[in-house]
Structure 1
Amino acid sequence: MNTIISKKTSRAIALSIATLALSGAVLAASNPRGIPSATSSAKAPFADKRPITTQASIDLGAYDPHGDFGNDADSKIEHLFLPWEDVDLSSLVIADEYAVQRGRSLLITVEPWSWDVDWRVTSDELLAGILAGRYDANMAAVCSEAAKLKSPVTIRWAQEMDETDNQFSWAHWAPDSYRTAYQRMVTECRKHIQTATYMWSPKGNPELVDFYPGDEFVDVVGLSVFGLQDYDRATFGKERTFTEALEPGYRLGG
C-alpha cells in the first residue's frame, strides 16, 4: 500500500510505502508495528524495485519492520501503526532512536481500537465513547508519549474513514460524526504535544470530501494507493502507472 502525503500549502507530495498488516489476537500489550528489531537485515533483498530518487524527488518513507530500508539514505519517513488500547507506548522510544540515527521523521498511524478483536466495542459504542470523552485519555497517552520523542512527528488518526469494506470500525460513521470525532482527537492531542503535524488520510473514494474535518485540524492530506498488476490487467486492460492510480482520489480532494 502506498500512502501519499500532500502538504496543502505547497501541494508538495511525499511518498510513504506502507504495508498494512492484518490484526490478530493479542495476549498482552501490543507493540507499535513498524519498529525494526535489532536483528533486522540492513540490506533490502529487492533494492532493484525501489524508486529512483534525486534531490528533486518526492520524499520516500516506509513501513519497514524488517529494516530493509535501514541503510537507505533516501528514506526520510519511518511509518508506524499502533492501536490506542492495549499498547506498550514506551516502545516508541526505540522507533525514535532508529529514526534519529537516520535523520528521519515519524509517521504514526493511531488506530482507535484494540488489535485484539475480542476486546473491541461496536462501531456505535466507539463513536459514542469518543464523543462523550471516554477515550480522551487514550489519545492523551499516545500524544504525551509522542511529545517525548526527538524526531518530527506526524499523527495519522483513524485512516481510510471513507472505506465501506468493513475493515475499520470508524469507517461506518456518518461524515459529520467522523469530522466531530477527528476534531476532538486533534484538539486533545494538541494539549500534550505542540510540535506534531496532523494527517487526515482517506482511502480516496468519491465521497471523501464529506469527511474532511477542516483546515484548522489538518496539516497534511494522505491518500491510499494500491497496486496489483493482475487486478489492473483484469480491470483496466493494462498495468496502471502510479500517476494513473493516484489521480482519481487526488482530483477528488481538489
Structure 2
Amino acid sequence: MKNIRSKRLLFAGLAIALLAVVLWLLKPLYRSYYLNIYYPSNERLGGIFNVNNTGTDLQPGNVVSYKATWRNNAPWYDKGEIEKELVKHDVMLTVETWLSGVNYNTNVLTELKNGKFDKQILELAAIISKARNQVYVRWNPDMEVPTNFYPWQYQSPQSYITSFNYFAKKLKQYAHSAKVVWSPSGYPGDTEYWPGNKYVDYVSITLGSPSENSVNFYPAAKTTQGMLRQKLHRLRFINKPVLIVDAGNISNATFQPTWLAEEKAYINRYRQTVYSDSNYTDSCKAKPIRKVLQVGVFDPNKRLLNQKNITVEHLFTDFGEVERGDFEKKFLEVTGRHHDVIVTMEPWKDAAHKADTLTLERILNGTFDQQIKKLFSIISATNQTVYLRWMHEMEIPIHRYAWQSQDPVTYITAYRYFMQFNGGPGKNVKKVWGPAGDRGSADFWPGSDVVDFISIAIYGLPDKNITDPDKQEAFSTIFNRKYFRMRFLGKPLFITEFGVKGPESFQDQWLAGAAKTINANPHVFGVCYFNLYDNPKAWGSIKAPDWSMTPKSMAKFCRLLKR
C-alpha cells in the first residue's frame, strides 16, 4: 500500500510540475489573449505646454506612467500595481485596445463602438473612482501615423473620432474625475483625427514614437527640439494644454524642460498671425454657399474655350514671364474673351529661367518686390475677377517646387508678405490659398485675413505607377478626403485643378460622378479642368498622364452641373 501511495504521490507531483511547465510556456499566450493587463510603461511625461496659461494642475515629476493592454474577448484582469501607485502618485495611463486571436475581418475601432470593450472601460472607471490621485488617460495613441504598427492606425478619421468619443463619454460617465487625453504622435495630418472639445481635457504628443519611427514619408527634424516645434505647430488649432511624452527612443537628446519657454516665446513672436487666437475652433466651420458655380479650364491648346459654359481660364506663370511681358500678353488675351482668370503664380524663376532654391527667403528680403508690383498692376487693371493662387501644393513632401518641404512658418510669412504687399492687389482680385489637399495641409494655413478661397487639386490617379485607368479613384473619394482636411478653415472651395485620364467613355463616367459630388456640395464655388498632359519632368521614366478631354465630354459634363 505504501508503494502504491508513494507512486500516486510521485505521479501527482510530476503532473503538477508538468502543468506548471506548460502554463509557464503558455504564459505569453495567456497574457496576450486572456488578460487585460496594467503594467509600468517606459514612457515618461517630460513636460506640459500651455501657451495660454502659465499655471497647470499637473507636475511632470509627480506622474508615473502605466500602460493598459485590453483584448476584446479577454475575461480576466491583472491590475498589477496601478491601484497602489494611485495612492502615492498621479498616473498617466496609456490604454491600447487589441483583438483576441487573429481575425483579419474585424476592426478594433468597430469592436469598441459595438460595446466589446465596455467591461474594460467600467473596470478602469472603478479603478479611477477609488483613486486618491489623478489619472490622465491616453487612448489608442499615434492614430494618425500611416502605418499598421497598431491595429487602430490606417483607419478613417471619422471612424477613429466616433470610437474615441464613445470611449471618452463612457469613461467620464462612470469616472467623473478622469482626465481624458487625445494622443496623436504629432505627425502630419494629426488634426484630421481631432474629436472635438467635449470630452478632451488634454492633448499629448510623443517624442521618439516607435510607430512614427517606422515610417519615413516626411522629412525628419534634425534635432529633438526641432521635432517638438513641428509637433506643437500642428496643434495650433486646438486650445488645450499639451503633455509632452518622451517615449525613450530619442537618439540625439532627451527632452529638456527649458525648451518649453523657448517654444512659448516663439509662438508669441507670431501671435498675431500664425498663432492667432482666431485659429482655435471646435468643429468644422460653416462655409459660405455659392449662388453661381464657375466653370473653368486650363486649356493652352484652346480646344474648349469657346464653349458657352466656360467662364474662367487658368494661367500658370512665374516672375520671369512677368518681367519679360509674356504674362501680360496671355492675361490680356483671356480678359479680351471676357473670361475671369485663375492666375497660379510660381515664384521660382528669374528672367533667365533659373530655378531659385531660396525662394521664400528671397521673397521676404524684397528680391521680387518689383515683379510683385508689376504683377499686381496687371491683374488689378481689369473688371474681370482674378483668382490669385500663390505658391501652391506646398504641403507635398517632395521638391518639385522650391517652396515645398519648407518650414510652415516661413511659408506662411512669405504668403502673407505677398498678399499684403503695398496693401495687396485690387478689389477684383480674390486671394487663393492652394494646397493639394494632402496630409498636413492645415500646417500651412496663412490666416483668414489673406484668403478668400481655398483651392484643392483632384486627379483620379492616386499613384504614378498605376497604368490601368480603372484603378483611378473616384472624384467623390478624393474630394471627401481632402475636404475633411479643411474642416478648421471657414472659406469656400475653388477646385482649380482636376482631371482624369483614360478612354473617353471612362472619362465621361468619372466626370458624371464628379458633377454629382459638386452639385451636392454648395460650398464649392468653382471648378477648373486641366485639359493637357502633366509636366513630363515630374514623372521621370514613366509617361506623364494626359488629362485631356474632348469638347463633347466637356459639354456633357457641363450639362450635368447645377450652375
Give 1:163 shift: 1.1
List alignment gaps of at least 5 residues for structure 2.
1-285, 488-563
Aligned to 2:319: 84
Match in the other structure for 2:445: 212
Structure 1 equivalent of residue 355 of structure 2: 120
2:428 corresponds to 1:195: yes
Match of 1:96 in 2: 332
The answer on 1:62 being equivalent to 2:62 is no
| Match runs of 1:87-166 below 5 Å | 87=322, 88-89=324-325, 91-101=327-337, 103-114=338-349, 119-122=354-357, 125-166=358-399
Tell me which amino acid in the other structure corresponds to 1:96. Answer: L
Give the equivalent residue in structure 1 for 2:3: none
1:85 is paired with a residue whose SS is helix
Whether contact under 8 Å (2:415, 2:446) holds in the other structure is: yes
Q: Deviations over 1:218-247 (max 9, x none)?
A: 000000111239969789x85432111221
Q: Quick check: 2:334–2:340 contact (8 Å CA) kept in 1? A: no
Distance in 1 (alpha carbons) for counterparts of 2:427 and 2:292: 29
Instruction: Read off the aligned partner of 1:75 and give its amino acid letter.
Output: I
Q: Does 1:186 align with 2:419?
A: yes
For residue 73 of structure 1, report the CA deviation from its aligned partner. 0.8
Letter in 1 for 2:288: S
Q: Judging changes above 3 Å, is the alpha-carbon distance between structure 1 residues 86 and 80 closer, same or farther for their aligned structure 2 residues? A: closer
Report the alpha carbon displacement of residue 115 of structure 1 after superposing the two structures with TM.
Answer: 7.5
Query: Given that residues 147 and 193 in structure 1 are in contact (C-alpha distance below 8 angstroms), is that contact kept between their aligned partners in structure 2?
Result: yes
User: What root-mean-square deviation, in Å, do the aligned CA atoms of Structure 1 and Structure 2 show?
Assistant: 3.0
Match of 1:23 in 2: none
Q: Which of 481, 495, 503 pairs up with 1:248?
A: 481
Q: Shift in Å at residue 116 of structure 1?
A: 8.1
Question: Which residue pairs with 1:52 in the alignment?
Answer: none
Task: Give the distance between the partners of 1:62 and 1:169, measured in 2 at CA.
Answer: 25
For 1:189 and 1:160, the matched residues in 2 are separated by 25
Whole-Å separation in 2 of the counterparts to 1:100 and 1:218: 27
Higher RCO, 1 vs 2 (CA within 8 Å, ≥6 residues apart):
1
Q: Would you say the 8 A contact 1:232–1:239 is kept in 2?
A: no
Is 1:73 the counterpart of 2:351? The answer is no
Q: Does 1:172 align with 2:408?
A: no
Q: Which amino acid aligns with 2:315?
A: L
1:16-73: CA deviation from partner (whole Å, max 9, x where unpaired): xxxxxxxxxxxxxxxxxxxxxxxxxxxxxxxxxxxxxxxx984220011111112211
Higher helix share: 2
Q: Is the 8 A contact 1:78 1:99 kept in 2?
A: no
Correspondence 1:10 to 2:288: yes
Secondary structure class of the residue paired with 1:75: coil
In the aligned structure 2, how far is the partner of 1:234 from the partner of 1:90? 36
1:48 paired residue number: none
For residue 435 of structure 2, give the secondary structure of its aligned residue in structure 1.
coil
Verify the 8 A CA contact 1:204 1:252 in the aligned structure 2: yes
TM-score by length of 1: 0.69
Structure 2: distance between partners of 1:160 and 1:190: 25
Letter of the aligned partner of 2:407 in structure 1?
A: A
Q: Aligned partners of 2:463 and 2:442: how far apart in 1? A: 30
User: How many corresponding residue pairs?
Assistant: 201
Contact 1:100/1:150 (CA < 8 Å) preserved in 2? no
Q: Note the C-alpha offset of 1:197.
A: 0.6
Q: Which moved more, 1:225-234 or 1:82-91?
A: 225-234
**TM-score, with structure 2 as normaliser:** 0.33
**In structure 1, how many angstroms separate the alpha carbons of the residues matched to 2:292 and 2:429?**
24
SS, match of residue 70 in structure 1 = coil
Task: Answer yes or no: is the 8 Å Cα contact 1:90–1:145 preserved in 2.
Answer: no
Instruction: Look up the SS of the partner of 2:363 in the other structure.
Output: helix
Could you say which structure has the larger radius of gyration?
2
Matched residue type, 1:105: D
- Change in 2 beyond 3 A, CA 1:220/1:121: same
SS of corresponding position for 1:79: strand
Alpha-carbon separation, structure 1, partners of 2:425 and 2:441: 29
Task: Tell me which amino acid in the other structure corresponds to 2:406.
Answer: W
Identity %: 23
Residue type at the aligned position of 2:443:
D
Could you tell me how far apart the structure 1 residues matched to 2:458 and 2:485 are? 14
Q: CA 1:120 to 1:240, structure 2 compared with 1: closer, same or farther past 3 Å? A: closer
Cα 1:159–1:132, aligned 2, differ >3 Å: closer, same or farther?
same
Letter paired with 1:76: T
Question: What secondary structure sits across from 1:223 in the alignment?
Answer: strand
Gaps of 5+ in 1: 1-7, 13-55
Hey, what does 1:22 align to over in structure 2? none
Summarize deviations over 1:161-194 as a string: whole Å, max 9, x none: 1011210000131111111000000001644523
